[in-house]
């Protein structure tokens, strides 16, 4: 549609001031201002989306602006971790950062980095969990559940911290902190179990028990792994079976995936023998590579 131009005739400068108050002039100016505002807003959104799609650049930005070393901020308190430069990091690149710190636990300086590590390095696309036609369900479906429950969130933070420490082998000063995080996660799961009523076990609590079992499969002992898997069996039974688990089948697949890989790593028996990711599918094979690196 073309633009209609209107010529404005003025003989004296003061006539232009009077015309500026006319309805036609004000409407034209307003339309132009909103048009420019919309263009700027669109450019801003496109820039944010472009940044969100550049994880490698985000990682470089973090290296340039934030120290990645985690150390106890108070040597007498093994629960306390902070960044060595003593500053809280800026929100992690693109749209991943949470400037409001809306975690289901009390704020701690190391949480943003561990959440970012989990989302970018661990909650990756895993075909057997995503299933055909889907991608990134650990980020789009699973992680919102993680953010809804304190116990599950703490277990995921424990896994993220343990994985982070394993890939940064020279940083051994997190050992006591990992032990404290493990104790806190186990205590949170036990407290959540005490609050749940039989038959009303939530998806988040099932997920917390399952992920705690996966932690023990990778970093703990066979005895502890077995205890958590037995607890997972009871939780699933109270819930009404694997078919009753939510997230459109994703939670069922996570449970079976942990059972298959945990049994493979420990040389132990399956706790859900004969179960598949979906009815009619063949029995899933273990995938220890993804299991160990992308929990």
- pLDDT tens column, 248-279: 999 999 999 999 999 999 999 999 999 999 88
Question: What pLDDT does 99 receive?
Answer: 60
Whether the per-residue pLDDT at 95 is higher than 60: the answer is no
Contacts 24+ apart (CB under 8 A), 249-256: 249/131, 249/277, 249/278, 250/129, 250/137, 250/141, 250/142, 251/203, 251/206, 251/207, 252/277, 253/128, 253/129, 253/131, 253/277, 253/278, 254/129, 254/142, 254/207, 254/210, 255/206, 255/210, 256/284
* CA–CA dist 36, 41 (Å, integer): 9
Name every residue whose Cβ is closer than 8 Å to that of residue 157 and which is 6 or more positions away in sequence: 111, 114, 115, 118, 181, 185
The pLDDT of residue 38 is above 50: no
Q: Which has the minimum average pLDDT: 133-142, 164-173, 180-189, 269-278?
A: 164-173
pLDDT at 70 over 70: no
Of 56-65, 136-145, 238-247, the one with minimum mean pLDDT is 56-65
Integer Cα distance of 86 and 277 in angstroms: 45
Measured CA to CA, the distance from residue 280 to residue 168 in angstroms comes to 42
pLDDT reading at 151 higher than 70: yes
Q: How far is CA 157 from CA 20, 21, 117, 215, in A?
A: 60, 61, 10, 11
- Inform me whether the pLDDT recorded for 175 exceeds 70: no
* Three-class DSSP category at 107: coil
User: How confident is the model at residue 102, as a pLDDT?
Assistant: 80
What's residue 227's pLDDT? 96
- What is the C-alpha separation between 209 and 186, in angstroms, rounded? 9
pLDDT tens profile 47-67: 444 544 455 444 444 443 333
Q: Is the model more confident about 9 or about 135?
A: 135
Q: Which one is predicted more confidently, 59 or 243?
A: 243
- Global pTM exceeds 0.85: no
CB neighbour burial string for 69-80, b if at least 16 within 10 angstroms, e if fewer? ebbbbeeeebeb
The partner residues of 82 in beta bridges, in order of sequence, read 71
129, 141 Cβ separation under 8 angstroms: no
- Give the span between the Cα atoms of 191 and 248, in whole angstroms: 27
């Amino acid at each position: 549609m073309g633009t209609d131009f209107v010529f404005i005739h003025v003989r004296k400068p003061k006539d232009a001031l009077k015309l500026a108050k006319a309805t036609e002039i004000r409407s034209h100016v307003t339309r132009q201002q909103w048009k420019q505002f919309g263009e700027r807003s669109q450019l801003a959104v496109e820039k944010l989306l472009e940044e969100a799609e550049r994880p490698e650049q985000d990682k470089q930005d973090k290296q340039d602006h934030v120290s990645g070393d985690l150390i106890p901020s108070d040597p007498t308190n093994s629960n306390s971790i902070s960044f060595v430069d003593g500053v809280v990091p800026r929100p992690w690149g693109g749209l991943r950062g949470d400037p409001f710190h809306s975690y289901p636990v009390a704020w701690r300086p190391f949480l943003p980095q561990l959440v970012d590590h989990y989302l970018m390095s661990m909650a990756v696309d895993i075909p057997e969990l995503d299933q055909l036609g889907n991608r990134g369900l650990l980020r789009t479906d699973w992680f919102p559940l993680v953010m809804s429950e304190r116990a599950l969130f703490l277990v995921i933070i424990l896994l993220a911290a343990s994985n982070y420490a394993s890939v940064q082998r020279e940083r051994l000063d997190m050992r006591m902190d990992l032990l404290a995080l493990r104790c806190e996660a186990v205590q949170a799961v036990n407290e959540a179990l005490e609050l749940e009523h039989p038959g009303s076990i939530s998806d988040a609590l099932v997920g917390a028990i399952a992920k705690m079992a996966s932690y023990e499969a990778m970093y703990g002992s066979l005895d502890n792994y077995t205890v958590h898997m037995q607890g997972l069996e009871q939780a699933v039974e109270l819930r009404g079976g694997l078919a009753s688990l939510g997230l459109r089948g994703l939670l069922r697949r996570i449970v079976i995936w942990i059972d298959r890989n945990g049994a493979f790593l420990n040389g132990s028996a399956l706790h859900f023998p004969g179960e598949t990711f979906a009815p009619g599918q063949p029995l899933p094979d273990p995938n220890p590579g993804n299991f160990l690196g992308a929990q």
